[in-house]
Amino acid sequence: MRSVVIAANWKMHTAPSDAGELAATIASRTRVDAPVERVICPPFVCLAAVRDALAGSGVAVGAQNVHHELSGAYTGEISAPMLAGLATWVIVGHSERRRDAGETDELIGRKLRRAIEAGLRPIVCVGEQLAERQAGRAAAVVRDQVHGILTAYGDATIGDPAADLDSAGVVVAYEPVWAIGTGRNATGADAAAMADTIRASIAETGLAELAGAAPVLYGGSVTAANIAEFLAEPGIDGALVGGASLKPDEMAGIVARAGLTAAARAGGAG
């Protein structure tokens, strides 16, 4: 049974002076009896404050990015080894990194390699732009992204890519870029269809076990009001939450609904 995951991406919000308090509030408001994996990904400068605030809460800490090299002359960058003791998860290839930093699938695959080498659990982001969806190319774009990332990952590793990926707990987040902060809405059916595409694309690279085991999250302007539509789809295993993740009430509602999904799945498996 795949994990149900709710990951909060705070983006460029909060400072060390207030991040810990917000994280602690969210942790206390999102306790559920069902097995929901909760992750908070604050800015780099807030990682230590959030780590300390979440100690013993059951909520994990994630970084929003990682560099594709272990060290070197890369001013302003953060490598995977630098995150040791600060985070246990990391977001790789977020759409805003693609947009603002020009990250390619090849580069994201190398970042994925570094994350796994460092023992970080990765959330790998894929998704299409509005023009690509309107042109009927949404599935092809996401398929190419999955193939490109996993091919680059395989090229960057010395060991067995399949074994490493299967044991790393890889999570994939589907980001319909056209539905993030635009007022446009993806539907549960849209997300479910793309989750199927993602899993089929993973399997096409020879990673059938990962295709079945990897949770697929929805990440397109998730709120407490719309999360139920996405979690009602069997192929969707949680959410990568942006703006709503800064609001304890919103996070409480999102995680509560995820708890119902996790409990129902556990009951069905039993």
CA distance 156 to 179: 32
- Separation in Å, CA 122 to CA 45, 114, 129: 20, 10, 23
CA distance 234 to 216: 10
Kindly tell me the sign of the dihedral angle through the C-alpha atoms of 187, 42, 122, 154.
positive
Question: pLDDT band for position 270 (50/70/90)?
Answer: low
Q: List the chain domain ranges.
A: 4-269
3-state secondary structure of 248: helix
| DSSP-derived pairing of the beta strands 36-41 and 4-9 | parallel
- CATH of 4-269, picked from 3.90.950.20, 3.20.20.70, 3.40.50.2000, 3.40.50.11540, is 3.20.20.70
pLDDT tens sequence across 160-188: 777 888 889 999 999 999 888 777 779 99
DSSP H/E element including 172: strand 171-174
**DSSP 8-state symbol, 120:** P
pLDDT tens sequence across 91-132: 999 999 999 999 999 999 999 999 999 999 999 999 999 999
Query: What is the set of active-site residues?
Result: 94, 175
